[in-house]
Amino acid sequence: MSDPDELLRIEGIRKTFPGVVALDGVDFDLRRGEVHVLLGENGAGKSTLIKMLSGAYTPDGGRILVGGEEVRIHGAQDSERLGIATIYQEFNLVPDLTVAENIFLGRQPRRFGMIERGRMEADAEVLLKRVGLSVSPRARVRELGIARLQMVEIAKALSLDARVLIMDEPTAVLTSEEVETLFGIVRRLREDGVGIVFITHHLEEIAALGDRVTVIRDGRSVGQVPASTPEDELVRLMVGRSIEQQYPRERADAGPALLTVEGLTRDGVFHDVSFEVRAGEVVGIAGLVGAGRTEVVRAVFGADPYDKGAVKVGGASLKGHDVNAAMAAGIGLIPEDRKGQGLVLDQSVEENLGLVTLRAATRAGLVDRKGQQEAAARIAKQLGVRMAGLGQHVRTLSGGNQQKVVIGKWLLADTRVLILDEPTRGIDVGAKVEIYQLINELTANGAAVLMISSDLPEVLGMSDRVLVMAQGRIAGELSADEATQDSVMALAVSNPTTDKEAARGH
């Protein structure tokens, strides 16, 4: 019964962690030359499933067959030997080594016991070309941006001559242009007969790239459908209900300006940035990656310095480069890099949720532990954080659930001005709607929300006004009615310096 085109088969796989049944009977199969999408809510068990194939975890039950034969995968070497390469949700590269060293880590070509650096770098060069990446094999990985890291990971997978390539949310951190490059590479691999397991929360990518979809819900495979299945049907399979409205923005009447930014400039980074966000408003900031959006909001929050300009909250000027002053004035920032800046991984969900409020409460001289706990439990429930309990360490939550904790922490903190940088990256479609509803609640209560997002439908769907940044400047502002995919993109690719001069008749 051995089918030559079947690369991989998983039957009834199970895995339990203390207090959590992560997988409770998953079936899956992968064929030569197909992209098989794994779809499921945050915490459904997708990453756990692929970690059994990469050898990071061993299953408690069920079978894994590779090429028709049952295998046991204990560790990365077993996985590699079976022709399986994995690109994790969290990258696995060593920052201080070069690109070539990372690609051939542990497998450097040797001669008389010495690493053949020249040959290794030449081989790396060929692989980098295949993935369309123009960096030197001698560059340190630390110096690369996240999209290039991803390409290095793929080059590494190619060097292993993998027959099975597993990609866990590879597009979560990429711009649309980079996504296209990635898709090109994946399609070429598929033509070469590689089987690809692809995890994503971006539903539009499924029809664009996939062949089949396996849906996982609460640790079980609940369906296998063609990738051409309509999105609302996919959502229904995934969350067990349909979602009426993807962007439930309820506009409130805008009050006085809460956040005022005047002529903010950081030499060489952003220039003359001015805008305000009024009470009850959601202002979106759109723009291409590298336009300076994150840099501006970090300066507003006091995380980075600026050279000129002013930031005011409720009319009062804020001391620059002072996060404590910003927080005391009621500004909160949910950062883009949540692993690095938003969470204490070896503390519990409850402790992480309390990080901001606790600071405020301690300052006021009283810590209401019970109130803290209740508030944490309420927000965790509202956001649907999938966990064994509030005591679970954040490190062992799924990627999307970690994100929900960072967001929950600031939602609890009673901020007047909340800045969100890519708030729903890695979040499943159902949980996104919950976050949007919490944003509605905040603005209905008079808070001001400033939201950076590279997800254009999200910016358009949730903002009352949209600021578009290009090359470190505000290229234009659009009302909710004026803002469309086209009008935003036109501003995003404009050159605000020369365009302004042209307008002045220079």
Ligand X SMILES: Nc1ncnc2c1ncn2[C@@H]1O[C@H](COP(=O)(O)OP(=O)(O)OP(=O)(O)O)[C@@H](O)[C@H]1O
Smallest distance, Å, CB 401 to Mg ion?
Answer: 9
**Toward ligand X, which CB reaches closer, 46 or 163?**
46
Amino acid at 250: E
Smallest distance, Å, CB 170 to Mg ion?
Answer: 12
Do residues 465 and 284 make contact, with C-beta atoms less than 8 angstroms apart?
yes
> Residue 463 interacts with Mg ion (CB under 5 A)?
no
**Toward ligand X, which CB reaches closer, 40 or 137?**
40
Q: Which of ligand X, Mg ion, none is residue 415 near (CB under 5 to 8 Å by kind)?
A: none
- What does the alpha-carbon distance between residue 449 and residue 410 come to, in Å, rounded to a whole number? 12
Phi, psi of 208 (to 5 degrees): -70, -35
Phi, psi of 130 (to 5 degrees): -60, -35
Phi, psi of 334 (to 5 degrees): -95, 105
- What does the alpha-carbon distance between residue 20 and residue 339 come to, in Å, rounded to a whole number? 22
Q: Which long-range contacts (CB under 8 A, 24 or more apart) does 383-387 make?
A: 383/407, 383/408, 383/431, 383/434, 383/435, 383/438, 384/42, 384/430, 384/431, 384/434, 385/349, 386/41, 386/42, 386/43, 387/20, 387/43, 387/349
Tokens of 204: 């539009």
| Tokens 């194939």 -> residue | 53
- CA–CA distances in Å: residue 308 to residues 14, 102, 264, 266, 299: 58, 41, 6, 7, 11
**Toward ligand X, which CB reaches closer, 386 or 465?**
386
Smallest distance, Å, CB 46 to Mg ion?
Answer: 5
Interacting residue ranges for ligand X, rule: CB under 6 A: 17, 20, 22, 40, 42-48, 89, 386-387, 396-401
Enumerate residues 28-67 that contact Mg ion by CB under 5 A.
47
Q: Which of ligand X, Mg ion, none is residue 17 near (CB under 5 to 8 Å by kind)?
A: ligand X
Stretch that binds Mg ion, among 61-69, 333-341, 370-378, 397-405 (CB under 5 A): 397-405
> Residue 280 interacts with Mg ion (CB under 5 A)?
no
- CA–CA distances in Å: residue 70 to residues 2, 21, 32, 183: 12, 23, 18, 31
Enumerate residues 186-245 that contact Mg ion by CB under 5 A.
none
Enumerate residues 289-348 that contact Mg ion by CB under 5 A.
none
**Toward Mg ion, which CB reaches closer, 427 or 459?**
427
| Tokens 């960096």 -> residue | 135
- What does the alpha-carbon distance between residue 239 and residue 201 come to, in Å, rounded to a whole number? 12
Q: Which of Mg ion, ligand X, none is residue 42 near (CB under 5 to 8 Å by kind)?
A: ligand X
**Toward ligand X, which CB reaches closer, 27 or 276?**
27
Count the site residues for Mg ion by CB under 5 A: 3
Stretch that binds Mg ion, among 158-166, 178-186, 358-366, 392-400 (CB under 5 A): 392-400
Smallest distance, Å, CB 247 to ligand X?
Answer: 21
- What does the alpha-carbon distance between residue 305 and residue 295 come to, in Å, rounded to a whole number? 10
**Toward ligand X, which CB reaches closer, 147 or 397?**
397
Q: Which of Mg ion, ligand X, none is residue 488 near (CB under 5 to 8 Å by kind)?
A: none
Smallest distance, Å, CB 448 to ligand X?
Answer: 29
Do residues 477 and 466 make contact, with C-beta atoms less than 8 angstroms apart?
yes
**Toward Mg ion, which CB reaches closer, 172 or 470?**
172
> Residue 399 interacts with Mg ion (CB under 5 A)?
yes
Smallest distance, Å, CB 398 to ligand X?
Answer: 3
Nearest residue (beta carbon) to ligand X? 400
Smallest distance, Å, CB 399 to ligand X?
Answer: 4
Tokens of 454: 């590279």
Q: Which residues bind Mg ion (CB under 5 A)?
A: 47, 398-399
